[in-house]
Structures are given as structure tokens and as C-alpha cells.
Amino acid sequence: MDNRFATALVIACVLSLISTIYMAASIGTDFWYEYRSPAPENFSDLNKIRDDFVDSDPDEKTYNDLLFRYNGTVGLWRRCITVPNKSTPWYSSPEKTESSDLITECFSFTLSEQFMEKYVEPGNHNTGIDLLRTYLWRCQFLLPFVSLGLMCFGALIGLCACACRSLYPTIATGVLHFLAGLCTLGSVSCYVAGIELLHQKLQLPENVKGEFGWSFCLACVSAPLQFMAAALFIWAARTNRKEYTLMKAYRMAPWSNVHEEKRTIEYRNRHK
């Protein structure tokens, strides 16, 4: 194998590994979007806050209001808020609390919640289903897993190519990485669109700021890495295949001419 192709494959494999790690980390963490709000004066209704936040039949407006007010963070799987620790003395005498007494409590979205319909007016079931937000939410949840699956399948094909000592199957690896990049890009786009539409329905309170977190940034970085890996895989496989075909034709050409000359001489001798 030419050193150019070997170098391209090594770089592509490294990019693929990094993008896989980034994508897995972004899926498993809870910082796709973060809210920054002033510390509440008190938490006198702390039990009600917890009950509303971990309700098995969640109201989208209720838990988003809590995210706004209590420095919430949202991931693909979980939502989190910052509340006082039950074990602190403050908990029995609620006034103001120090930051060291605050803990982050998280609650996972169930599978049924991931596929739950979103309403035109969040929290109001009588306003009809908002199909756009519903399918944006489902896509932002499903596409990252499709992306990871495609990259793993591409890696399996790459291992088979190594076992067969052929670069040509790595074209499939490149195509799968390209599709994975599209899925990652689609997931990021769906998430941004979903957040923007949500904030149009539910305005952020005064002094509350929202920003995309580092989990979201990992997904954003993962997409171009997948595209670069795909380009290197496809380039190495196609170029190596072309050069192999040309070299094979070059090696066979002299022998073909010799055989043709022998057949010509034999034909002439027979017809003298």
C-alpha cells in the first residue's frame, strides 16, 4: 500500500474515533442547553418543586418554568435543576442558602415522554398538537443514535477490509461516516430549531439567560469530524483502486503484445 493511502487511513481512523467519543459524550451528558437565573430568595415550596419536576405525567410548561427559575440544564435524556440539599441545616429552616448547600437533581425522560406530542400552547392540551415541535423533538432524540450506529457499522466494515487486505470496502465505511455526519448535523439543527420554537411559546423570565452547553458543542464538533473522516476513507479507497487498475493494465500489456505476435507468426507460417 502506498504511504499516502496508509497515512490517509490512519488520520481517518483517528478522526472517526474522536467523533465517536464526542458523540457518545454528548448523548450521555445533560448540558445541551443551560439556563442561568438569579438565586431564589427561598425554597419554601421545595417539596412541591420536586414533585412537579419529577411528575410521571409531565407538563411541558411546568417543568420548563422550573428549569427557567432554578438554573436548569437539559440533555437528550434528562432534565436537571439546582435545589438545596436535604441534608443541610437550611433545609429545615428555609431562608437564603449558600451555593455550597445547593445540589443538582436530575430526572430522566422516559421513552414515552420522548415520543409524547407537543402542544401549540405548551401545557394546554386543548390547543391541538404542534406537529413541527413534536417531530423536531423526536428527531433530535433518534438521530444521534442512528449516527453512532452508522459509525460502528462502518468500523466493522473497515475491520473486514483489513482482514481481506483490500482498501475497496472502505468506500462503504466512508459512505456510512458521511451519512452519520448528516444525522449528527440533522440532530443539532433539530435541537436548535426546537429550542427557538419553545422560547417563542414560553418567553424567558426577566434576568434569566439561556445558552447552549458543552454537550451541544461536542455534537457540533463531531459532525465535521465525521465528514472529514468520510472524505479521507473514500479518497483513499477510490484512488488506490484506480492506481491498482492502471498498474495491472500496465503489467499485462507487454505480455498481451507478445502473445499477439506469436499468433500472427503462426498464422502466416500455416498459410505459406
Query: Mind listing the pLDDT tens digit for each residue in 162-182?
Result: 777 766 778 889 999 999 999
Instruction: Give the domain CATH number at 81.
Output: 1.20.140.150
- How far, in Å, CA of 229 to CA of 147, rounded? 14
Domain-embedded: residue 161: yes
Place of cell 481512523: 13
Phi-psi region of 36 (alpha: psi -120 to 50; beta: other; left: phi over 0): beta
> Has residue 268 been placed in a domain?
no
267 domain residue, yes or no: no
3-state helix, strand, coil in the chain (%, to 5): 65, 10, 25
Flag whether 229 is in a domain.
yes
Q: What residue numbers bound the domain in which 192 lies?
A: 3-87+100-246
CA distances from 82 to 70, 85, 108, 125 (A): 6, 9, 15, 28
User: Does residue 31 sit within a domain?
Assistant: yes
pTM for this one? 0.79
With respect to residue 22, please indicate whether it lies within any of the assigned structural domains.
Answer: yes
User: Do the beta carbons of residue 60 and residue 80 sit within 8 Å?
Assistant: no
Model confidence pLDDT, tens digit, residues 44-90:
565 566 666 666 566 788 888 888 888 889 999 888 888 776 654 43
In a domain, 152, yes or no: yes
Half-sphere exposure at residue 170, Cβ-oriented, CA atoms within 13 angstroms? 30
| DSSP helix/strand/coil, 124 | coil
Residue recorded with cell 418543586: 49
Instruction: Give how many domains the chain has, as a whole number.
Output: 1
Q: Look at residue 110 and tell me if it is in a domain.
A: yes
